[in-house]
Structure 1
Amino acid sequence: MRRLKERLRRDDGFTLIELVIYSALLLLVLGIVGSVMVSGITNQARITDTTSSTTESQTAVESLGLGVRNATAINSPTVSRPLLIVKTYKRGATADLQCQAWYYSATERTIRAKVTNNTKIGIPSASQLRTWTLLAENVAPVDSSTPIFQTSGRTVTVNFVVRSDAGSGQIVTTSIASRQNTVGGAPSECVL
């Protein structure tokens, strides 16, 4: 006991073995903290990516829902012509009609929307597509034989996947029905 007290009173410092042990313990602690931080950053990136694809899916479906529910006429898109056009009432006090369209671009893998005041809408060129409102990116059909937009009478069925950068995807499959009593076929005032 006296030896320990004497040694503690001396100002010799640490031995080489003590320094090596302390350094090894420090490296171990830093390694654990570093791996926890890297794991947290990776998980945060994955969560942000998934949240982004979910938000884009919801934005596209919300836009489609608002337009289709008020539609007085709906066209019938196909796999080769993925353009959904409806004639719908504008929001507001007056009952003015307008044309709304949603287009799936397989080359850009996007869903975009456009609203016009009874101006006919056709499949946009690449330069025209830039003027449309972007609703969702990294979009793909659920399968190659099913169009993204399908119609049956007053109902539009939507089927697509919004892929995240991590590879996972948000699958969207929903049906939206018009609330209007009389829904005609292709809105001739709107379709080119």
Structure 2
Amino acid sequence: MPKPRTARTNADAGFTLVELLIYMAFAVIVLTLVGGMLISTLTAEKRITARSEATTSGQLVSQSVHSGVRNSLKMELTSSHSGSYQFLVAETVTGAVTAGPECEAWYFTEDDDGAVYFKRDTAKIFDPAVSGDLQGWMLMAHGVAAGDSDGAVFTARVSSATPPTPASGVGLSINLPLGFGLGVTVSSGLGGTSIASGADTIDLALAVAAGQNSDPVQIESTTIRRVTSSEPKLCF
């Protein structure tokens, strides 16, 4: 009588189809979780990098304006009535004995997605909105918008009892009182622009874009002119 066959365990036996499906489902779940964490990490890193770059650009503009205005003999702010551009120019001096005055200028434009440019020269710097020339200008920040309700990046005003100087330009001059008997002379120029002269203080308020789905970085500062020893003669 033949003996019945007994089941033998084979060490080389493979997985069943059900086991493979279960393992594949587990692998998909693990990879999905890991991929989601990786994407979240990269997104957060990109957002942090964008905010850091926006903050650096905004602080660069603020520090440049602070340095130039504090050491200026005179400054003048030209603004379009629509707020689409502003041109701030200052005649600055250094502490060196042999060093002469220089012209420093900052130009904000809503073009190029909002940008602030800077230029320094030993000769008069002309308004780029008039000349249409940005050659020699350095881009300091892009993605810039006005940071205050008035729609202005730069605001000129008087903070001391020093009488304002007469305004330059063509048009009607008016004196805008700012309280305590102080004011800044504003000349309404051609082409829908106004020129503010005689101010000793610049308020800076700008918002720098920090990428999509992220609030812009707000930069605000106030700078007071401190140099009054000699008359400006180079930049105006």
When the two structures are superposed, what TM-score results if normalisation uses the length of structure 2?
0.69
Q: Indicate the larger mover: 158-167 or 64-73.
A: 158-167
The answer as to whether partners of 2:77 and 2:86 remain within 8 angstroms in 1 is: no
The residue aligned with 1:116 is 121
User: How far 1:112 moved relative to its partner?
Assistant: 0.6
The structure-2 alpha-carbon separation of the partners of 1:183 and 1:135, relative to structure 1 and needing over 3 Å to count, comes to farther
The residue aligned with 1:174 is 221
The residue aligned with 1:190 is 235
User: How far 1:189 moved relative to its partner?
Assistant: 2.9
Output one character per residue of 1:111-151: Cα deviation in whole Å (capped at 9) or x when no partner. Answer: 1111111x222211585214201111011112563421112
Identity of aligned residues (%): 29
Give the number of the structure whose residues are more often helix, by fraction.
1
Structure 1, unaligned stretches of length 5 or more? 1-5
The residue aligned with 1:3 is none
The answer as to whether partners of 2:101 and 2:234 remain within 8 angstroms in 1 is: no
The residue aligned with 1:53 is 54
The structure-2 alpha-carbon separation of the partners of 1:160 and 1:183, relative to structure 1 and needing over 3 Å to count, comes to farther
CA-based RMSD of the aligned residues comes to: 2.3
SS at match of 1:31: helix
Aligned residue runs from structure 1 range 91-102, under 5 A: 92-102=96-106
The answer as to whether partners of 2:86 and 2:154 remain within 8 angstroms in 1 is: yes
The answer as to whether partners of 1:72 and 1:88 remain within 8 angstroms in 2 is: yes
Structure 1 segments of 4+ aligned residues over 4 angstroms from their partners: 181-184
SS at match of 1:32: helix
User: How far 1:161 moved relative to its partner?
Assistant: 0.9
The answer as to whether partners of 1:56 and 1:136 remain within 8 angstroms in 2 is: yes
The residue aligned with 2:206 is 160
The residue aligned with 2:78 is 77
User: How far 1:10 moved relative to its partner?
Assistant: 3.4
Q: Determine which of 121, 144, 150 is the counterpart of 2:155.
A: 150
User: How far 1:11 moved relative to its partner?
Assistant: 2.4
Structure 2, unaligned stretches of length 5 or more? 1-7, 159-199
The answer as to whether partners of 1:77 and 1:149 remain within 8 angstroms in 2 is: no
User: How far 1:65 moved relative to its partner?
Assistant: 1.1
The answer as to whether partners of 1:77 and 1:150 remain within 8 angstroms in 2 is: no
Partner Cα separation in structure 1 for residue 230 and residue 40 of structure 2: 53
The residue aligned with 2:108 is 104
What is the count of residue pairs matched by the alignment? Answer: 182
